[in-house]
Amino acid sequence: MELVTPHIPPQPAAPPSRLNNARVLKVELGARSYPIRIGKGLAANEAAFPEAQGRALRVITDSNVAPVYLAPLLAALHIGDDQVFVLPAGETQKTWDSAGQVLDWLLASRLSRDGCLIALGGGVVGDLAGFCAAIYQRGIDFIQVPTTLLAQVDSSVGGKTGVNHARGKNLIGAFHQPLSVIADTSSLSTLPRRELLAGLAEVIKYGMLADSLLFEWLEANLDRILALESNALAEIIERCCAIKARIVGLDERETGSGPRALLNLGHTFGHAIETHTGYTQWLHGEAVAAGLCLAADLSARHGWITEAVAARCITLIQRAGLPTQPPPGMTAADFRDLMGLDKKVQNGKLRLILMRGLGDAIISSDFDASLLDSVLHDACSAAG
């Protein structure tokens, strides 16, 4: 059985620096290094955007975010609403057609190569705006201002940008690092409950794949997070971003068997669910949550983790109000067909991110296919 375990150095003992009540981390990528600033009210604070000073700016946002957070951002950046492109909200907008509309607008507005694009929104806006920044005039700068928990702990960090295709999620895209990430925790107070819970799936993922202490902290403090306690929210955003920043710094472009692939724990299953349901029924985090349960189950059936560890993972996901099974009507054959299109397929072989301990993920291309079939069959049968 081939198990590839990329080395992830331990978290540094020294805490991240804090500046003006903001928690500040850094993604170390040499000339492409950038800060992550975490705190309340940052999106309305000009001082949080030093990288934008003196630049021609354009803003991409969506119809849910714009009515609440656009005006304070524009005031902080000293630009008018004529420099804004507002997309309809939802995963269905993460398409090549939407990217074309954004690019047409950027060209019509005559943004030059030294301009900067601001992505104000969740993962869809961040991925789409980042992709357009990557290809507009062969690449311009952009800044991530994530407004959902999922985007703040995961998708806004690391430079993965792109759009979906009918044959699979994120199959068209580019690596393009932002100038900075501004995570304003104030935005979480207006986040729909379902979106908050979807973001928690990515938080739980980090504990499962790289930090058992974070997982234990989540078990003990989940109620504080669900109650939107500001210190608890800032804590999970900082800890998750620190893990991702460390991994991205080691493996920026997810090459070969590098550690960045570990961040996809649960995602191969989750992307299959999203594609199967047409990106309209399940949120990304909900699909990932079910995928994490499948990954934990498969890891336990291989004997790499105990059934007790798998049960802890599934129980925490259930406590967070997230799905633990695939959508009704989805079959094992549906999973196998869609998983075969995953970007982690190499030389015709599917690679899965699984677990060999709590906080210890692995990459396997030589898992037992019969065990995978049994996991999928049992889960789909239970879902109905």
Residues 314-332 have pLDDT tens digits of 999 999 999 999 999 999 9
Taking each helix axis from N to C end, the angle separating 332-339 and 267-276, rounded to the nearest 10 degrees, works out to: 110
- Tokens 């935005």 locate to 187
Would you state the pLDDT for residue 101? Answer: 98
Would you state the pLDDT for residue 9? Answer: 60
> Residue 72, class by beta-carbon neighbours within 10 Å (0-12 exposed, 13-18 middle, 19+ buried)?
middle
User: Which secondary-structure segment (H or E) carries 173?
Assistant: strand 168-175
Residue 51 has pLDDT above 80, yes or no: yes
C-alpha span between 46 and 25 (Å, rounded): 19
Q: Are 276 and 269 in contact (CB under 8 A)?
A: no
Spatial CB neighbours of 101, under 8 Å, sequence gap ≥ 6? 85
Rounded to a whole number, what is the largest CA-CA distance in the chain?
A: 59
Residue 203 has pLDDT above 70, yes or no: yes
Q: Which residues are annotated as a binding site for Zn(2+)?
A: 202, 267, 284
The DSSP code for 9 is: P
Report residue 156's pLDDT band, with 50, 70 and 90 as the boundaries.
Answer: very high
Chain region(s) in the chain for CATH 1.20.1090.10: 195-383
- Tokens 């974070």 locate to 214
Where does 195-383 sit in CATH, by number? 1.20.1090.10
Q: Which residues are annotated as a binding site for NAD(+)?
A: 123-127, 147-148, 160, 169
Compute the CA torsion angle 102, 105, 107, 109 (nearest 10 deg): -140
Q: How far is CA 117 from CA 102, 103, 112, 178, in A?
A: 11, 11, 11, 10
Q: Which residues are annotated as a binding site?
A: 123-127, 147-148, 160, 169, 202, 267, 284
SS3 151: helix
Residue 86 has pLDDT above 50, yes or no: yes
C-alpha span between 99 and 297 (Å, rounded): 38
Each residue's pLDDT tens digit, 320-364: 999 999 999 999 999 999 998 776 677 678 999 999 999 999 999
> What integer is the mean pLDDT of 122-141?
98
- What's the whole-number average pLDDT of the chain? 93
Q: Are 121 and 65 in contact (CB under 8 A)?
A: yes
Report residue 6's pLDDT band, with 50, 70 and 90 as the boundaries.
Answer: low
Closest CA to 146 of 207, 204, 96, 191: 191
Chain region(s) in the chain for CATH 3.40.50.1970: 33-191
Q: What letters, b where the CB count within 10 A reaches 16 and e where it falls short, cover 142-175?
A: bbbbbbbbbbbbbbbbbbbbbbbbeebbbbebeb
End-to-end CA distance of the chain: 32
> What integer is the mean pLDDT of 112-129?
98
C-alpha span between 384 and 379 (Å, rounded): 9
Q: Are 200 and 320 in contact (CB under 8 A)?
A: yes
Would you state the pLDDT for residue 255? Answer: 81
In percent, how much of the chain has pLDDT > 70?
94
Helix residue spans in the chain (DSSP H): 71-77, 96-108, 123-135, 149-150, 193-210, 212-226, 230-250, 267-276, 284-301, 307-319, 332-339, 369-383
Quick one: CATH architecture of 33-191?
A: 3-Layer(aba) Sandwich (3.40)
